[in-house]
Chain A
Amino acid sequence: AQKVTQAQTEISVVEKEDVTLDCVYETRDTTYYLFWYKQPPSGELVFLIRRNSFDEQNEISGRYSWNFQKSTSSFNFTITASQVVDSAVYFCALSEANAGGTSYGKLTFGQGTILTVHP
C-alpha cells in the first residue's frame, strides 16, 4: 500500500524567507504520480504540480520549485521569497498508475504542512 509522509506539521517563517516543505512517499509501483496541492482557509484544493515517476527533472514555476529524488523517495517543495499569501496548508499526494502509465486517479495524501508566513 502506498503512503505519503509530511514530517513537518507546521512551519512558521517571516516574509521573504525561503521555505522547503518535505514529502517522502512509499509505493510498490514503478509507475506513479506525485502531486502538491495548496489548501487555503476556504478549503478548496489548488493544484500546484504533477510529476510522473519517470521524470526526475526538477521544476521551477515562479517562486515555486520542486525537487524529485527517486533514490530517497522524496518530492520536496520550496517556496522562494515567501509571501503572506502563501500561508495555507500544503499537501503532498501520490497516485498509483497501471503499467501503461495511466493514473488510477485516486490520491493518497500526506498529513499536510501548515505554513504560516508572517509579515
Chain B
Amino acid sequence: GAVVSQHPSWVICKSGTSVKIECRSLDFQATTMFWYRQFPKQSLMLMATSNEGSKATYEQGVEKDKFLINHASLTLSTLTVTSAHPEDSSFYICSARDRKIFNTEAFFGQGTRLTVV
C-alpha cells in the first residue's frame, strides 16, 4: 500500500513551453501533497505545499506564477512549469500524506526529470 505515482518520469521540452507533472496517490487519499525540487548533485528543497481544494502554499523564493499547483481531488496534485527555461531543468519529486494515518512518513513519487532545451 501507500503508493504514490508520478508522471511522467522524464520529459524534455523546448524553452518557452509549459510542462505538467502529475502526482497521484493510488491507494490512499491525500489532503496534502508536497513538491520538491532537486538540482543536480544538490539536496531536495521544498517548493510548495499543495492542499486539496485550496491554494498552494509556496516557499520563499518560489514563483507561484511560474510553478502552478492544482490539487483538485484527494488523489491528484499537478505541478505545471510555465514558460520553462533551461534553468528550470531539475528533478521534481512529490510526496503525499495519507489523511487517515497520522505520524507516518510522507510517501514519495518516483520523481520527474525535466530537461528544458
Which residues of A approach B to under 8 Å, CB–CB? 33, 35, 37, 43-45, 47, 50, 52, 91, 95, 97, 101-103, 105-112
Contacts and interface: CB of A to CB of B under 8 A. Distances in A.
B103 A101 contact: yes
Contacts, number: 59
Main secondary structure of the interface of B (DSSP, over half): strand
A52 B102 CA distance: 13
B108 interface: yes
The 4 A-B pairs at the shortest CB distance, nearest first, are namely A105-B97, A45-B108, A43-B111, A109-B44
A97 B36 CA distance: 19
Nearest to B32: A105
Interface residues of B, number: 23
Contact of A43 (B91, B102, B106): B91
Contact of B113 (A43, A97, A106, A112): A43
Contacts of A107: 34, 36, 44, 46, 95, 106
